[in-house]
Amino acid sequence: MTPLDKPLKRELTIGDATYTLAIDPDGLKLTEKGRRRGVELLWKDLVSGDAALATALQASLEAN
């Protein structure tokens, strides 16, 4: 198995919008193309089951 030791970026289209997905050793980040802010998910949150809570909290903080 190849270790994930540096960021891996891929572009994807969801509906009419284009996004960049960055996967690194800490987690993943989905950002609308041309923007800096996006949704981040840490691997430790995903494994512990706190992923939904962490994502909802981050979304509520960014809305303010």
pLDDT digits (tens, 9 = 90+) for 5-23: 999 999 999 999 999 999 9
Neighbouring C-beta atoms of residue 34, cutoff 10 Å? 7
CB 49 within 8 A of CB 38: no
Find, among 46, 33, 34, the residue nearest to 55 by Cα.
46
Maximum mean pLDDT: which of 21-25, 36-40, 47-51, 54-58: 21-25
